[in-house]
Amino acid sequence: MKKIVICGSKGKCGKEVYRLLKQEGYQILDCVNEHEQSLQEVIAKHQSIDWVIDFTNKEVAYKHLLLCIQYHLPFICGTTGFSNQELKYIQEACQKINLKGIICSNFSLPMNILIKNFSSLSQNFDHIKIIEQHHYSKKDKPSGTGKLLKSLARCECEIVSEDRMDEIIEYDIQFESKYDKMKIVYEVDHKQVYAKGVLHYLQHEDESVFINLIQK
């Protein structure tokens, strides 16, 4: 069974990833959380690590990814907010040493299906409006998912980010042209949706399912 280190295991997504992988029998070697041991210390403790999973924040995650590259540790990163320059550096560094890694702005399987088809879908319309709702504490607004969808649109596209008090995440995507309209509403009621996506990736390591921001 794969040996895993989880960074951010006490966060909203990280704790669901921890719970699900533990339930599925994966060996959680160690965890990295704020004000506790560092990833550098964890790496020094263990001779063999198969995957480092990161759900922290942009600043911390970037340092973790650099450590993964330094020690040739495959990684799964669900943290968002990286600049294009940072993504390019990680991509090129991984390619140089043939290191397996994924940075995905959204590990929901249905959302990845939508993202993969968004470009071809959008070309049939004149305007798209993405209204996304997240918990008010979310730092990166628009979200990585919203910005990715906008970058793929082949027509005019705007994003509206709204706060909400509960933990529900909603994407209301409105497509419109002169003679027709279409609307897609996707709602996530629990972070386990993302944990299931991480589990799917671990089980299959299938690059075709998820949008990897560091894959050409």
- Measured CA to CA, the distance from residue 184 to residue 165 in angstroms comes to 22
pTM here?
Answer: 0.91
Whether the Cβ atoms of residue 75 and residue 55 lie closer than 8 Å to each other: no
| Torsion of Cα atoms, 130 then 136 then 137 then 138, to 10° | 0
Can you give the pLDDT at residue 156? 98
Can you give the pLDDT at residue 215? 82
CATH label of the domain that carries residue 149: 3.30.360.10
Domain that holds residue 44: 3-106+192-204
- Judge if 157 and 92 occupy the same domain: no
- Judge if 180 and 200 occupy the same domain: no
Q: Quick check: is 145 in a domain? A: yes
pLDDT digits 0-9 by tens, 100-118: 999 998 999 999 999 999 9
CATH label of the domain that carries residue 48: 3.40.50.720
Can you give the pLDDT at residue 138? 83
* Buried residues in 96-119 as b, exposed as e (16+ CB within 10 A): eeebebbbbbbbbeebbebbeebe
- Judge if 115 and 102 occupy the same domain: no
pLDDT digits 0-9 by tens, 175-213: 999 999 999 999 999 999 999 999 999 999 877 889 999
- Measured CA to CA, the distance from residue 212 to residue 214 in angstroms comes to 5
Q: Quick check: is 47 in a domain? A: yes
- Measured CA to CA, the distance from residue 193 to residue 189 in angstroms comes to 8
- Judge if 87 and 9 occupy the same domain: yes
- Judge if 60 and 20 occupy the same domain: yes
- Judge if 86 and 163 occupy the same domain: no
Number of domains in the chain: 2
26 vs 216, which has greater pLDDT? 26
- Measured CA to CA, the distance from residue 103 to residue 174 in angstroms comes to 27
Distance of CA 13 to the CA centre of its chain: 10
- Judge if 131 and 168 occupy the same domain: yes
Radius of gyration in angstroms for the set of CA atoms belonging to the chain, rounded to a whole number: 18
- Judge if 96 and 200 occupy the same domain: yes
